[in-house]
Amino acid sequence: MNTQDLKQKFGIIGNNVLLERSVDIARQVAPTDLNVVINGESGTGKEVFPQIIHQNSARKHGPYIAVNCGAIPEGTIDSELFGHEKGSFTGATESRKGYFEVANGGTIFLDEVGELPLATQARLLRVLESGEYIKVGSSKVLKTDVRVVAATNINFYQALEKGKFRADLYYRLNTVPIYLPPLRERKEDIHLLFRKFANDFAAKYRMPVIRLTGDAEQVLVNYYWPGNIRQLKNIAEQISIIEKVREINAESLLKYLPQYNSNNVPSVLATNTFNHSNGFEPNDREIIFKVLRDTRAEVSDLKKVVYELVTATSGKLNTLSNESVQIINRNYNDGNELMNGSGGFKMHNPIIQNTNQSPQVIEVEETLSLQDKEIDMIKKALRKHKGKRKNAAKELGISERTLYRKINEYTIEE
């Protein structure tokens, strides 16, 4: 079965390259017995991929069990996964089979595997290494033949650093990683998904299909979607039920989109200064806004230095040469250019003027390359963290993936 057939069979909508790649990897790894970890934010549809893997494997006639590790209390998680013997703890009135025993010969999907307690992680590691486990309250070693597919929305590297996840278990689980992109990285798919949900809810509630105007479509695409596909589906359902007018404009749509702010991205309802029409890719915004924030601080520091200089000299600015005046004003302009988001402009009111000469207006015309600023910021971060990309990416407020791409794109030597 090819990728397109799989997408149709499992109801996967979209033509994004990253999504296509994820489906293709699932298709290729399914016939093997390799362990798989599915990484992706909450609401991206991770639960579909273990089913693709199971139903296209030699285990498809065996059991398939999905376990939400984050929903099981820590005190009972071992019993749920590995079973227990009668009398092993208060309330254990009879023996019970665990999921690994029930799923023998099939596939077990461990959703939110990053939520497992460390003690349970040690038990899981033994199952992955030897297929052996022991029921709670027993000393008898049992065997199971289960394929494990895990999913998580946590950052594994941060969890490893903080000691919340075992490194040996991570490398056992993560034989084949599958990455599901968030909805904001699948802009071309957003309207397709919305139309699908709108049609489904129109049929479910027996009412006309809602449609978006052009400006509403633009709002839909530019929204950050922190809840991803799940959030998009919920909003489509809300609008289908509540709105009496079936053509939805931007003003109506905005009522259903909560403001979303973070340190790495602009407000979702802010002006669309950065979009595809002016040449910026979605992932580029993270670095651009980091540059803007840092430049704001630099401009503020520069103004403070100039003010102190003026105060200290008590009006004796005749010691400043024309060249010094131009340098000060040029730096001030550079900061203002970034804050205004323009590529270059003329400044007709310099901060200071040389008092040796008659009053004059110094015109400074500079062009500023955002690419140069990006390269400079990346180099500074890498130097600060001695080439450690993970720490540099955290300092820049971007993902490691984006940092790797930028390093390759700009041929930055570390």
Residue 138 identity (one-letter amino acid)? S
Within 8 A by CB and 6+ apart from 329, the residues are: 347, 350, 351, 352, 362, 364
For residues 389 and 400, the answer to whether their CB atoms sit within 8 Å is: yes
Task: Give yes or no: residues 98 and 169 share one domain.
Answer: yes
Residue 164 lies in a domain: yes
For residues 61 and 75, the answer to whether their CB atoms sit within 8 Å is: no
pTM for the model stands at 0.62
- Residue where a domain stops, chosen among 181, 212, 239: 181
**How far is residue 363's CA from residue 307's CA, in Å, rounded to a whole number?**
21
**How far is residue 17's CA from residue 119's CA, in Å, rounded to a whole number?**
39
Residue 278 lies in a domain: no
Residue 57 lies in a domain: yes
HEC assignment per residue over the chain: CCHHHHHHHCCCCCCCHHHHHHHHHHHHHCCCCCCEEEECCCCCCCCHHHHHHHHCCCCCCCCEEEEEHHHCCCCCHHHHHHCECCCCCCCCCCCECCHHHHCCCCEEEEECHHHCCHHHHHHHHHHHHHCEEECECCCCEEECCCEEEEEECCCHHHHHHCCCCCHHHHHHHCCEEEECCCHHHCHHHHHHHHHHHHHHHHHHHCCCCCEECHHHHHHHHHCCCCCHHHHHHHHHHHHHHHCCCCEECHHHHHCCCCCCCCCCCCCCCCCCCCCHHHCCCCCHHHHHHHHHHHHHHHHHHHHHHHHHHHHHHCCCHHHCCHHHHHHHHHHHHHHHHHHHCCCCCEECCCCCCCCCCCCCCCCEECCCCHHHHHHHHHHHHHHHCCCCHHHHHHHHCCCHHHHHHHHHHHCCCC
Task: Give yes or no: residues 313 and 201 share one domain.
Answer: no
Range of the domain at 56: 3-181
Task: Give yes or no: residues 166 and 312 share one domain.
Answer: no
Strands 64-68 and 107-111: parallel
Task: Give yes or no: residues 217 and 354 share one domain.
Answer: no
- Residue where a domain stops, chosen among 181, 203, 228: 181
**How far is residue 89's CA from residue 137's CA, in Å, rounded to a whole number?**
8
Residue 176 has what pLDDT?
95
Residue 373 has what pLDDT?
76
Q: How far is CA 260 from CA 7, 255, 280, 291, in A?
A: 31, 13, 20, 20
Task: Give yes or no: residues 80 and 116 share one domain.
Answer: yes
Task: Give yes or no: residues 165 and 33 share one domain.
Answer: yes
- Residue where a domain stops, chosen among 151, 181, 211: 181
**How far is residue 406's CA from residue 398's CA, in Å, rounded to a whole number?**
11
CATH number, position 60: 3.40.50.300
**How far is residue 333's CA from residue 160's CA, in Å, rounded to a whole number?**
44
Question: Structural domain tally of the chain?
Answer: 4
Residue 279 lies in a domain: no
CATH number, position 249: 1.10.8.60
Burial state string for 219-231 with b = 16 or more CB within 10 A and e = fewer than 16: bbbbbbbbbbbeb
**How far is residue 159's CA from residue 154's CA, in Å, rounded to a whole number?**
8
Task: Give yes or no: residues 75 and 223 share one domain.
Answer: no
pLDDT by position in tens, the chain (length 414): 888 999 999 999 999 999 999 999 999 999 999 999 999 999 999 999 999 999 999 999 999 999 999 999 988 999 999 999 998 888 888 999 999 999 999 999 999 999 999 999 999 999 999 999 999 999 999 999 999 999 999 888 889 999 999 999 999 999 999 999 999 999 999 999 999 999 999 999 999 999 999 999 999 999 999 999 999 999 999 999 999 999 999 999 999 998 754 333 434 343 343 344 344 444 455 556 556 666 666 666 666 666 566 555 544 444 445 555 555 555 555 555 444 444 444 444 444 444 444 444 444 444 456 677 778 888 888 888 888 888 888 888 788 777 877 887 778 876
Residue 123 lies in a domain: yes
Task: Give yes or no: residues 207 and 128 share one domain.
Answer: no
Residue 9 has what pLDDT?
94
Task: Give yes or no: residues 141 and 202 share one domain.
Answer: no
Residue 112 lies in a domain: yes
Residue 228 zone, left/alpha/beta (φ > 0; ψ -120 to 50; rest):
left
Residue 184 has what pLDDT?
94
Residue 253 lies in a domain: yes
Residue 277 lies in a domain: no
Task: Give yes or no: residues 68 and 172 share one domain.
Answer: yes
Taking every pair of Cα atoms in the chain, the longest distance, rounded to a whole number of angstroms, is 98
Task: Give yes or no: residues 75 and 204 share one domain.
Answer: no
